[in-house]
Structure 1
């Protein structure tokens, strides 16, 4: 009997507590955290016929607990949306297995740490799952539904130029079509490795392009496979040439993520790292990646010497107006966060050779080193290469040279007229570090220590 009395009392208290919560005007769904959908193969046929686009809101008032966001949300007394703040709209891309993207919350929180904004996450998992060709058929309808929400927010005082769309893969083209619907008056679109399949040869109306917003930028990390290889914005950042990213597996026997997804998703991780502001991720405009690596492009004169930088700076830090159209900019990164590397231009001049040779050049800073091998030919005396080094020019302690041409038909002794290192982009007040007149015998290591202090170059 005692147990039954306690059960009755507990039931009464539970009903009373629930009535008190409802009486306070807070419905249960208002205090629950919303999440992205996920779907499975079993429901594929039913989900194909409906997109079920929904929206989640995160702000500095609810950074860890997303709220369901719709056209009626702004009229609720518990609304966190601030019409006077800029709005970041995150649009995910194709979801092969129907799983919700794990990176969305991290990206939203990185945006909130960087700025006081509204972050709206577009959830179109149902329409984005399974057969890629069918998903591509859906993307314009998704953009149309998003445009309805944007129109509604305009009636509450939001301005088109205050919207910044961040689209990942196929989501970049969704964002671009939203921009098309608003005649390019959206403030900004950032495409994170915009999707390539079925878009590389598409008309600009059907894919992301510079007319879709007042400023369009793209970060390319997998342009030889899942990403697009052509410029699609005012500024296009091609990381490590836009293809194979450092630290990603190159073997087909590696994990599916390591071989297929790692390059493609590197754009997202680099962008999030840039939002944290640990170090600048700066690109240099150039015609091609090979020209960039050979040191043919050393400054940002086309942008009045202000190089584009990944992040939230206005127009990526470009001060020129109008912005030069569809510029490719290149940068090297490291294999892990924060991904920043210093671009060191290595220039080697040798005396004419009778035979081919090979020289190994090593730059050392603290316990880290960068190594490059030059293959020297009889017809060439000057060689250049841009390297990714973990530290600035003024922090390089030592340079080492080694004549590694051990084979008999290689040059025995080498005379190096000069070896110079400088940091890109070149600035007029910085002089390269040079060592002149070096004789190196085959297999012998030569080393030189620099005595320098940062800020005194």
Structure 2
């Protein structure tokens, strides 16, 4: 080997050698796993919780490494002191089994950003009796804070930490934030737990003061999730309660059906990380007002709507940040869950009898439908429809008079029917059709010819 080649080899070794050695060592080590807890183990370990931490990075996305602050001094540690850190905290585990979703969420985060992912494993303290688990959550937060304190000594800054807590894990994250006086960079609550927390003091649950920015996704606020806002921005999906696609007939087990709404927050958040489509919330006082089309823009945020995902402050640019701002959005039943908000406006002539119409918006491969009950004391109807495709791709609108034969209006005169998409940065004009007569049993339809702008 010539002197020049030896010099090149030495340079490559100095730059890459350490990483290669660490990678080899990491592969030789057995991959760390989250715990499972049997009833016997629960009785044995509940007193000391047995909290452990797992580390995943882009260098070991499939093989977790056990993590503790002492490992920061070891050459075999894959933790990067110069990268942000995502901390995942699972919630209650009724059966004591390890949360299977943690690895998928970790890998989705690593695909989106080059970060350290630290998973908090507190399965022993999170299992079986919910009321006893709630007694444990603050102790888990204290143990996490000890780890964070030690990491600060090695140069990790509080503002670079982003805690992502599922269910009860969101309140664990909130209490960590309380212990650090709100200096943690960000906390994201995925359907924060509701039982025993809805009436709790802000000191005992997640709230906006726990981090520099707190966002929360609500999907089961009538059962396992909390119904009140707990962040700077709170996304209420489909009103925060019943989620599309969570019908009993879709699940082979009752357990899968029961937790479907609750787990939807996780699945939507995970889907948002791939950036395939925006999940944008619209500020409004209530879900009912939102569905009536009375909240169509994001002027409260200076026109920039908050978005689920990793955008800084959910994309909000206003200062100071809002607190406990409810935003609403509709979703589809399957990943990536994105739906376009279509405002449907129907103006009809006065009716002698009540009536019912079905409005169908159709594209080449899909469609959406909405039923409207028309009364004798009203002529203008507005409602928001979730449509999987953008307004500019809607080919056909169909209206059917679906009323009963003897008790409903036989013919309906529609002065105008208009559809428009919101929120829209370009303020597109609505699509309207005027002067329509719809008889019972004879659907009316109209084809649109339009092309979406491509930017």
* TM-score class normalised by the smaller sequence: over 0.9
Give the superposition deviation at 1:440: 1.2
**Which among 293, 307, 315 is matched to residue 309 of structure 1?**
307
Give the CA RMSD over aligned residues: 1.8
The CA deviation at 1:367 is 2.3
User: Is 1:90–1:119's contact at 8 Å kept on the other side of the alignment?
Assistant: yes
**Distance in 1, Cα, partners of 2:357 & 2:67:** 61
Q: Pick closer, same or farther for the CA change 1:295–1:109 going to 2, 3 Å.
A: same
SS state at 2:69 partner = coil
Q: Which residue of 1 aligns with 2:381?
A: 383
Give the aligned partner of residue 92 of structure 1: 90
Which residue number in structure 1 is paired with residue 392 of structure 2? Answer: 394
Give the corresponding residue for 1:48: 46
Aligned partners of 2:190 and 2:26: how far apart in 1? Answer: 36
Q: How does 1:330-369 map to 2 (within 5 A)?
A: 330-369=328-367
Whole-angstrom distance in 2 between the partners of 1:221 and 1:428: 30
Partners of 2:75 and 2:93 in 1: CA distance: 35
2:209 — aligned with what? 211
Partner of 2:298: 300
Distance across 2 between alignment mates of 1:395 and 1:258? 35
Does the CA-based 8 Å contact 1:284-1:307 persist in structure 2? yes
User: What TM-score do the two structures reach when normalised by structure 2?
Assistant: 0.93
How far did residue 428 of structure 1 move? 5.5
Deviation at 1:252, TM superposition (A): 12
Q: Does 1:403 align with 2:412?
A: no
- 8 A Cα contact 1:197 1:228, kept in partner: yes
Determine which of 178, 182, 185 is the counterpart of 1:187.
185
Gaps of 5+ in 1: 1-23
- The corresponding residue for 1:69 is 67
Summarize deviations over 1:291-325 as a string: whole Å, max 9, x none: 11110100000001111100000000001111121
Q: Is the 8 A contact 1:406 1:443 kept in 2?
A: no
Using the TM superposition, give the Cα deviation of residue 30 of structure 1 relative to its aligned residue in structure 2, in angstroms.
6.2
| Partners of 1:307 and 1:318 within 8 A in 2 | yes
For normalisation by structure 1, the TM-score amounts to 0.92
Q: Quick check: 2:219–2:237 contact (8 Å CA) kept in 1?
A: yes
Q: Tell me which residue corresponds to 2:451.
A: 453
Q: Decide which of 308, 324, 327 is 1:329's aligned counterpart.
A: 327
Are the aligned partners of 2:42 and 2:125 in contact in 1 as well (CA < 8 Å)?
Answer: no
Query: 1:188-267, aligned counterparts within 5 Å?
Result: 188-250=186-248, 255-267=253-265
Return closer, same or farther for 1:253/1:414 CA change in 2, 3 Å cut-off: same
Q: Deviations over 1:124-148 (max 9, x none)?
A: 0111111111110010000000001
For 2:423 and 2:414, the matched residues in 1 are separated by 25
Tell me if the contact between 1:239 and 1:245 (Cα under 8 Å) persists in the aligned partners. yes
Which residue does the alignment assign to 1:3?
A: none
User: The residue matched to 1:107 in structure 2 has which SS?
Assistant: helix
Aligned match of 1:283: 281
Q: Which residue of 1 aligns with 2:418?
A: 420
SS in 2 for 1:434: strand
Counterpart CA distance in 2 for 1:391 and 1:270 is 18
Q: 1-side partners of 2:38 and 2:299: how far apart? A: 52
For residues 450 and 250 of structure 2, the distance between their equivalents in structure 1, rounded to whole angstroms, comes to 45
**Partners of 1:30 and 1:67 within 8 A in 2:** no
Q: Is the 8 A contact 1:248 1:258 kept in 2?
A: no
Matches within 5 A, 1:154-169: 154-169=152-167
Cα distance in 1 for partners of 2:184, 2:226 equals: 22
Cα 1:98/1:321, change in 2 over 3 Å:
same
TM-superposed deviation, 1:250: 4.2
Q: Extract unaligned runs of 5+ from structure 2.
A: 1-20
Match of 1:32? 30
Structure 1 residue matching 2:344: 3-state secondary structure:
strand
CA distance in 2, matches of 1:61, 1:44: 34
Query: Can you list the C-alpha shifts for 1:247-299, whole angstroms capped at 9, x where unaligned?
Result: 11247996223321111111111100000111101110111111111101000
Mapped partners of 1:29, 1:455: distance in 2:
49
The answer to whether the 8 Å contact 1:333/1:341 transfers is yes
